[in-house]
Amino acid sequence: MAEVEEGCELFSAGHRACGGCGPALAARLLLKATGKNAILVASTGCMEVFSTPYPETAWGVPWIHSLFENAAAVASGIEASLKRQGRSEKVLCVCGDGATFDIGVLCISGAFERGHDITYICYDNEAYMNTGIQRSGATPYGASTTTSPAGKCSPGNVHPKKDMPAILAAHGAPYVATASIAYPNDFIKKVERAINTPGPCYIQVHTPCCTGWGFEAGETLNMGKLAIETGLWVNYELVNGQVEKVKKVRRKPVEEYLAKQKRFRHLFKPARQDDMIASIQAIADANAERFGIDIKAKESSE
Amino acid sequence: MLEFMEGSHAVAEIVKRCRPQVISAYPITPQTHIVEDLAQMVANCEIDAEYITVESEFSALSACLGASAAGSRVYSATTSQGLALMFEVCFNVAGMRQPIVMTIANRSLGAPLSIWNDQQDSISLRDSGWLQFYAEDNQETADLHMIAYKVCEDHDILLPAFVCFDGFILTHTFEPVSLPTQEEVDAYLPAFNPYQRLDAENPLSFGMYATPDYYMEFRYEVDRAMQRAKQAFVKAGREFGEQFGRDYSGLVEGYRLEDADTALVAMGSICGTVKDAVDEMRENGRKVGLLKIRTYRPFPAQEIADALKGVSKVAVLDKNISLGNGGAVGIEVKTALYGSGISVYDYIIALGGRDVRKRDIAAIVDLAEKGKGDMFYGLRTEVL
C-alpha cells in the first residue's frame, strides 16, 4: 500500500477550486503518485481553470493545456518527443469527463490505438461543471442537469453512463482502472501501476462535485463512499482486458446515495418516482452482477 | 546541382535536411506525396524522427504542439479541409508561441467539394498568428522551408509558419530544383534550441488561462512578434542568398516595375504565368509589371506602397474570396495604398482550379486600364 507522504505537496494550496472540490483532491493525490518526474497534459475544464489563473499556477510539475479535446494528441506528441530525446518523464493526461467521454474521444482513440506510453486520468464528476453543470456522456441515468433538467415531462438524464473503461480496454490498453477519491491509497496505487505499465493506460477516478451535484462541501468523501457502497460506482482493474481486482461491498440501497443529492431530488419530491428509483437500483444490481462486488454471508471485507 | 523532381519530393527532401525530430501528419490530397515520402525516409532510417500517424489533422497539429513544447523541432503538412479542421489548434499554437513549420499544399475549401487549387485555405487563417509565405515555384518552395525554420525559431519571433505552394500546380509538377547538401543546411540552420520546454528539472505551466487583466497583452505580444518577423525574414533571406546564391531578402519582389504604368499583384505559382504575360505585353509596348507578395503574414504594407510608387493602376489577382467583400489580398493592398491616388482593382480568379492563361492576364490588364474591376474574372455565365 502506497503511503501518503506528509510535506510533499506538488499540487499547491491557494488554487481557486470550490471548498470540498473532488477534482482538486484528485489532483493532489495524483501528484503524490507521480512524483516530480512527470509531465501533465490538461484539457480545458474546471481543474485547468482553477489551478492556472495566469500568472499563478498550482502545479509543481511541468504542465500544459492546449484545448478542450486534444489532450491525448498533445500527449502523443510529448511522448514521441521525449522518446526521441531519451528522456524519462512520465506523460499523463488529466481531463474531465466531458473532455474524455464526449469531445475528446477521437484523440483518445487515436492515441490508444497507436500505443503511446501515456497514462490518461479522467476525473469524472459526471457533467460539464466548468460551464454550469450540463449533461455529459458520463452523467448518470436520472440526474438532473442544466441541459437534462427534470421537468413535467422529463425525469432528468435518460441516457445510461457511457462505458469508457470498456471502450479503452477494447483498444488493447494493458491497464484500465476505476478509482475514487474516497479511497485515496487505492487511487495512488493505481496511478503508480499505470505509469509503470508500458503503453496507454486509463484511470477513471470518481470525483464528487458538491456544487454540481448539490451536497454540503464537507460530504465529498462520504458521497464517493456511498457511490461505491450502493454499487453505482465500482472500483475495478482491467489488466489486458480481464477483470483483476474489484472492490467488494455490503451493498446499501441506491436511495441512500440519491436522496443526499440535489441532482436527484426530483426523484423524491414533490412525488416519489418509484419507477425511476427502481431503474437506478437495477443499474446498481447489474453492476454488482457484472463485477461480483457483493460480499456474501460469512465472507469478510476485502 | 539541379535535379529534376516533383515539388512534393523537393519538399520532403528539404524537410529531411532540416532535421525535424517529430513529424505528424494526416493524408489529404494534394499533400499526400510529401508525407508518403517522409514516411519512407523514416522507414529507411534516412531521417532520425518519430513519425506519428494520427487519426486526423486536428490531432496531427495537436501532436506537433506537444512535441514542440517538449523541445523537439517538428513538421507537418496539410491543405484545405485538413487545415480547416486544424483551425482551433492553429490559433493555439501561435498563442503558445511554438515555432512549428507546416507546408500547405494550397487547395480550395468545400462545399462544393474540390481537390483543386486556390488559396482559400491558408488565407482563411490569416488572423491565426501564423507567418504565411507563398512560393512561386518548387525551388522557392524548398528554400522557404529553411528560411521558415530559421525565422520561426528565432527567440525574438517564436511563431509558427505556413509555407504555401499551390496544390497540383506545384505539388505534382516536376521542375529542376537545386537541393543543398545536409552539411550546407546544417551550416544555415542550427540545431533546434527551444526557448522554453516541458521539463521535470524546471517545471513550467504552458497554456494557462488569462483573465481580462492579461489576455490583451498576450495578443499584443504576438502581433509585435509578427511585426518583428519582417526584419527577421529579410535577414534570414539575405543570409540564404549569401550562402546559396538565391536571394529572398524581399517580402515582396518586383518584376519589370521600373517604369510600369499598370502593376499586377499576385501570390504563388501564378506569378510565373504573369511574368510571361508581362514579357509579351512589354514586347507590344505596354508598360506593365508584377509585384509578387512573398509574405502574406506579416503583411508587407509599406513594402507594397514603396514598390508601387509611380504606377497609376493596380490589378490584384486573388485566388480566394472573402465572401461579401471581395478578395482578401485586394482588400489589404487597397488599405496599403490608401491615399496614394493609385487606382486598385481586384479580380477573383482561378477558384477551385480554374485555369488562368497568359491571355487572361492580358485581358485583366485591359480591364484595369479601362477602370473595370472588383469582380470575378473567367466566370462561365452560361452555367449560372
Q: What is the pLDDT of residues A124-169, one digit of tens each?
A: 999 999 999 999 999 999 999 999 999 999 999 999 999 999 999 9
Residue B266 and residue B190 in one domain: no
Q: List the single residue in A with minimal CA-CA distance to B197.
A: A62
Count how many domains chain A has: 1
Domain span holding position A41:
22-291
Q: What is the mean pLDDT of residues A235-257?
A: 97
The whole-angstrom distance between A272's CA and the closest CA on chain B is: 44
**Residues B157 and B238 placed together within one structural domain of the fold:** yes
CB atoms B50 and A61 under 8 Å: no
Write the burial class of residue A177 (CB in 10 Å: 0-12 exposed, 13-18 middle, 19+ buried): buried
Among residues B223, B244, B265, the one where a domain terminates is B244
At position B170, the amino acid (one-letter code) is L
Domain end: B244, B265, B296, which one? B244
For residue A301, pLDDT over 60 is answered with no
- CB-based contact (8 Å) between B210 and chain A? yes
> Under 8 Å CB-to-CB from A91, ≥6 apart: which residues?
A38, A39, A41, A75, A78, A79, A82, A116, A117, A118, A119
Task: Yes or no: say if B114 and B30 are a contact pair by the CB < 8 Å rule.
Answer: no
DSSP-derived secondary structure letter, A99: I
Interface test with A, best of B72, B85, B205 (most A CBs within 10 A): B205
Provide the sign of the torsion angle of the four alpha carbons B220, B226, B230, B232, taken in this order.
positive
Are B67 and B172 within one domain?
A: yes
Residue type present at position B218: F
ipTM of the complex: 0.97
Nearest CA in chain B to A51: B208
Q: What is the CATH number of the domain that holds A276?
A: 3.40.50.970
Give long-range contacts, CB 8 A cutoff, 24+ apart: B333-341.
Answer: B333/B265, B333/B304, B335/B301, B336/B299, B336/B301, B336/B302, B336/B304, B336/B305, B337/B304, B337/B305, B337/B308, B340/B305, B340/B308, B340/B309
Which of 22-51 (A) contact B at CB < 8 A? 36-39, 41-42, 48-49
Say if residue B377 is in the same domain as residue B338: yes
Residue A210 contacts B where some CB pair is shorter than 8 Å: no
| A78–B198 C-beta distance less than 8 A | yes
CATH of the domain at B15: 3.40.50.970
Q: How far is CA A298 from the centre of its chain?
A: 32
- How far apart are alpha carbons A30 and A22 in whole angstroms? 12
Confirm or reject contact between B63 and chain A (CB < 8 A). yes
Q: Looking at residue A296, what is its pLDDT?
A: 85
Residue A100 has pLDDT above 90, yes or no: yes
Say yes or no for a CB contact (<8 Å) between A62 and B204.
Answer: yes
Q: For residue B85, give the C-alpha cell.
A: 479542421
Q: What is the largest CA-CA distance in chain B?
A: 69
Which A positions 64-103 lie with beta carbon below 8 A of chain B?
64-67, 69-70, 73-85, 89
- Is A81 in contact with B49 (Cβ distance < 8 A)? no
The C-alpha atoms of residue B5 and residue A87 are separated, in whole angstroms, by: 38
Looking at the fold, whether B331 and B197 belong to one and the same domain comes out as no
The CA–CA distances, whole Å, from B160 to A46, B81, B229 equal 29, 19, 11
Q: What pLDDT was estimated at residue A52?
A: 97
* Beta pairing partners, A91: A39, A118
Asked if the structure places residue A296 within a domain, the reply is no
- Is B204's Cβ below 8 Å from some Cβ in A? yes
**Which of B224, B244, B264 is the last residue in one of the domains?**
B244
How would residue A6 be classed by pLDDT, with cut points 50, 70 and 90?
low
Contact B69 A36 (CB under 8 A): no
Q: Residue A13 domain-assigned?
A: no
Of B194, B243, B171, B229, which is closest to residue B67 (Cα–Cα)? B194
State CA B77 to chain mean position distance: 12
pLDDT > 70 fraction of chain A, expressed in percent and rounded: 95
- Please report which residue ranges of B44-96 form alpha helices under DSSP H: 57-69, 80-85, 87-95
The enclosing domain of B293 has a CATH number of: 3.40.50.920
Contact check, Cβ <8 Å, B206/A70: no
Cα separation, B236 vs B249, whole angstroms: 7
- Name the residue type at position B297: R
Question: Rounded mean pLDDT of A104-111?
Answer: 98
Instruction: Indicate yes or no: CB of B58 within 8 angstroms of CB of A64.
Output: no
DSSP structural state of residue A243: E
Distance, in Å, from the CA atom of B223 to the CA atom of B211, rounded to the nearest integer, reads: 19
Determine the straight-line distance between the first and last CA of chain A, rounded to whole angstroms.
Answer: 14
Chain segment A7-40, per-residue pLDDT in tens: 569 999 999 999 999 999 999 999 999 999 999 9
Cβ pair B124, B91 in contact under 8 A: no
Per the structure, how many domains does chain B have? 2
pLDDT of residue A7: 58
**DSSP per residue, A156-225:** S--SPPP-HHHHHHTTT-SEEEEEETTSHHHHHHHHHHHHTSSS-EEEEEE---HHHHT--GGGHHHHHH
Position A239 in a domain: yes
A&B contacts, CB < 8 Å: 161
Asked whether residue A15 is domain-assigned, the answer is no
pTM of the model: 0.97
Q: Same domain, yes or no, for B21 and B102?
A: yes
Whether B214 and B273 share a structural domain: no
B88 vs A39, A67, A85: nearest CB? A67
Answer whether B98 touches A (CB < 8 Å): no
**What average pLDDT does range A261-278 have in this prediction?**
97
pLDDT digit string, tens, across residues B85-112? 999 999 999 999 999 999 999 999 999 9
Query: Do B300 and B182 belong together in one domain?
Result: no
Closest listed residue to residue A230, CA positions, set A204, A264, A201: A264
User: Are residues B195 and B258 part of one domain?
Assistant: no
* pLDDT value of residue A1: 36
Q: Give pLDDT < 70 ranges for chain B.
A: none
Q: Do A59 and B203 touch (CB under 8 A)?
A: yes
pLDDT for A3 equals: 46
Instruction: Convert B119-156 to b/e letters by CB count within 10 Å (16 or more is b).
Output: bbbbbbbbebbbbbbbbbbbbbbbbbbbbbbbbbbbee
Q: Classify residue B114 as exposed, middle or buried by CB count within 10 Å of its CB (0-12, 13-18, 19+).
A: middle
pLDDT for position A27: 98
Q: Do residues B83 and B220 both lie within one domain?
A: yes
**Does B25 share its domain with B68?**
yes
Q: Cα-flanking dihedrals φ and ψ of residue B174, to 5°?
A: -90, 130
- Report yes or no on A180 lying in a domain: yes
State which residue of chain A sits closest to B73, comparing Cα positions: A81
* Side-chain-facing half-sphere of A74: CA atoms under 13 Å: 33
Quick one: pLDDT at residue A4?
43
Torsion of CA B146, B149, B151, B156, to 10 degrees: -160
Q: For A55, what's the count of Cα atoms within 13 Å in the CB-facing half-sphere?
A: 4
Domain carrying residue B374: 252-383
Residue A102 lies in a domain: yes
Q: Model confidence at A299, in pLDDT bands (50, 70, 90)?
A: low
Q: Exposed, middle or buried by CB within 10 Å (0-12, 13-18, 19+), for B181?
A: exposed
Regarding whether B263 and B225 lie in a shared domain, the answer is no
Average per-residue pLDDT for chain A? 95
